[in-house]
Structure 1
Amino acid sequence: MDSLVGLIGNVGFPIAVSIYLLVRIEGKLESLTNSINNLSGVINSMGKK
């Protein structure tokens, strides 16, 4: 029982931190993707003129 609690304590914290960081970064990645797509559209429209 003690080893199971120790395993959860040692593994659970890094998993929780990883999930928290992934959730926070997801919004920023989505914003960055939108900006890159907009920039690509502007570059394409400049090339057609």
Structure 2
Amino acid sequence: MDYPVFAQLLGNFGFPIAVTLFLLVKLEKKMEHLESAIHTLSKAVTAIKAKERR
């Protein structure tokens, strides 16, 4: 592959790939916090249901 073709491909696709990777890394922590909050909420709902059955 010629250098100009490679440079053009990198210019066309390199930036979107870099932005995507950056966003995935940044959002990973937020997704982990969201997952934790969902598990906590699920436990709370289960506990409320258990109290209602008594």
Q: Tell me the TM-score normalized by structure 2.
A: 0.84
Which consecutive unaligned segments of at least 5 residues does structure 2 have? none
Larger Rg: 2
Find the aligned partners of 1:17 and 1:30 in 2 and give their Cα distance.
20
Which consecutive unaligned segments of at least 5 residues does structure 1 have? none
| Counterpart code for 1:34 | S
Q: Tell me the TM-score normalized by structure 1.
A: 0.91
Report the identity percentage.
41
**RMSD across aligned C-alpha pairs, in angstroms?**
0.7
State the number of aligned residues.
Answer: 49
Query: Deviating runs (4+, > 4 A) in structure 1?
Result: none
